[in-house]
Amino acid sequence: MANVNIKINGMDVSAPEGSTILEAAKLAHIEIPTLCFLKEINEIGACRICVVEVKGARSLVASCVFPIREGLEVWTNTPKVIESRKKTLQLILSNHNRKCLSCVRSGNCELQKLCKDYKVDDECLYDGVKNEYELDTSAAHMIRDNSKCILCRRCVAVCEKTQGIGVIGPNERGFKTNISSAFYMGLGQTSCVSCGQCIAVCPVGAIYEKDYTSQVFDAIADPDKFVIVQTAPAVRAGLGEEFGAPIGTGVEGKMAAALRRLGFDKVFDTDFSADLTIMEEANEFIERVQNGGVLPMITSCSPGWVKYCEHYFPDMTENLSTCKSPQQMFGATAKTYYAEKMGIDPKKMVVVSVMPCTAKKFEIGRPDQSAAGVPDVDIALTTRELARMINRAGIDFNSLPDEEFDQPLGLSTGAGVIFGATGGVMEAALRTAVETLTGEELKALDFKEVRGTKGIKEATYNVAGMDVKVAVASGLSNAKELLTKVKNGEADYHFIEIMACPGGCVNGGGQPQVSGNVRNFTDVRGLRAKVLYDYDESMPIRKSHENPAIKAVYEEFFGKPGSEKAHHVLHTSYVKRQVNTPIE
């Protein structure tokens, strides 16, 4: 593709043909502010924060949608531009709930930062009527506060285009325009899948996860409770960002140290139950292949994906693996095997999970998730909630020494840690399934064909004389595309991995939020995924079936993968749901 030569603020800039002014400026190390823009899915030029002056144009233009042409001259910071952006911010704030001190996004709010940069404060605002809204608390995982919505439509775009769901959108017109569900249903009454991608892209505090940090502090302080915590693979790849670390920094050791200082009785790792999931899932896959079971078998680790399947592909719930997710397997094992081993009453045990995923808050309340007669997991926190707890406790995260997880439910393998990246579950399962079927040790453990952040990946592996066809999808619009081909007979697979969030759990709805300017021009999901693959490569054991703690739990409790006890504790069931309809 040919380059186009333009001038930005008097500097010569060369950018690929078809680029926008915003993209060309980025190449020249000039950051034009945005509020609504999300690359490829929300390029609508609506917020007018990114306006610039163009020679010959009668008015300011939105740089996010204005294409460059040879000889174009642009100015990004003239008095006219600055005044326009400032006035736009004043107008936004005129209908905005400005209780910033108590807002969950205070200090990490894109609107707040712009107001600071452009010196917009309460003394220079427009007074007038404000729209009033009630909080929508109907969903299990999040709260919607339209009094803080700036109508950027990022949430609408990611829900409709990235996830292919579209349960929220603009209602009313003009000044009364608001983002809500059809017929003003509460989000919890729609076919929302709780993925939280809308939270991830919101530039302000209009949508946020339900916070359960106070309940965790209360449990820790209760002498009658035995409180244990598990941390998902992707959390260690994102948590450091909350404390100033660059994207792509692994903080497993500091995370374990911080959790211990918060007062948890035991600090364990969901990677352990990821290994356990592989044992059950690989066994289930082999049984289906050998005994004529329903194929393709589809992974069940992502609760957002599972709920999507129940709503939008209910006839394919039989394809879902019956395995509980690693979060739920951990809780079930903790309250059965570990509780029995340690002589602890499961009713007095509180299992807290730290997840990159808001859908985990919905998952803990699903039916058939109480192996010991009590919920497998009691409280699910996001990565962001853990960071709030660490800050509230006054723990200096960056100065902590690296510490290890407690045993035995803290011992894991490289296969367990890569669960947090798209393709990781598939690769981990293949490492175990191939060795089980062939009876031979794998010479190469890296199944690189299923790695990477591409939305859909396919591969075929010859295993014990059989061609095993696999596919991996992340992001629910990609899942829809893949499953539609399967239903229509256009694609044929034996095993499919699906994750609700694009790029996998590393890009989950509960991970640290990054600004639009970072998200648009940085491969956040790739950098975080690399952390997990680096951990995998450095670990002494990289196959789930070689984890000594996993071997022990089968020898002492479950017997073997797929046993009756394993099915009772580690497996679950699904429901066929309706797509949202109006509530009477």
Tell me the pTM: 0.96
For residue 582, what pLDDT is reported?
A: 41
CB 459 within 8 A of CB 496: no
Three-state secondary structure call for residue 285:
helix
For residue 583, what pLDDT is reported?
A: 37
**HSE of 231, CA atoms in CB hemisphere, 13 A:** 32
Domain ranges of the chain: 3-77, 92-209, 213-570
For residue 581, what pLDDT is reported?
A: 47
Class of 92-209 in CATH: alpha beta
Q: Hey, what CATH topology would domain 3-77 get?
A: Ubiquitin-like (UB roll) (3.10.20)
pLDDT, tens only, 242-291: 999 999 999 999 999 999 999 999 999 999 999 999 999 999 999 999 99
Q: To 5 degrees, how large is the angle CA 99–CA 213–CA 247?
A: 80
Report the C-alpha gap between 27 and 15 in whole angstroms.
7
CATH code reported for the domain at 213-570: 3.40.50.1780
> What b/e string do you get for 412-440 counting C-beta neighbours within 10 Å, with b at 16 or more?
bbbbbbbbbbbbbbbbbbbbbbbbbbeee
For residue 546, what pLDDT is reported?
A: 97
Tokens (6 digits) for 451 = 């790695």
Is the peptide bond prior to 408 cis by the omega test (within 30 degrees of 0)? yes
Please state, as a whole number, how many other Cβ atoms lie within 10 Å of the Cβ of residue 357: 35
**HSE of 517, CA atoms in CB hemisphere, 13 A:** 18
Is the peptide bond prior to 401 cis by the omega test (within 30 degrees of 0)? no
β-bridge partners, 354: 231, 381
Tokens (6 digits) for 376 = 């497998």
Q: Is the dihedral of CA 17, 18, 19, 21 positive or negative?
A: positive
401 CB contacts (<8 Å, ≥6 apart)? Answer: 253, 254, 257
For residue 125, what pLDDT is reported?
A: 77
For residue 580, what pLDDT is reported?
A: 63
For residue 122, what pLDDT is reported?
A: 73
Report the C-alpha gap between 37 and 46 in whole angstroms.
8
Q: Which residues of the chain are modeled with pLDDT < 70?
A: 580-584
Three-state secondary structure call for residue 466:
strand
Amino acid occupying residue 253? G
580 CB contacts (<8 Å, ≥6 apart)? Answer: 167, 181, 182, 185, 189, 190, 191, 192
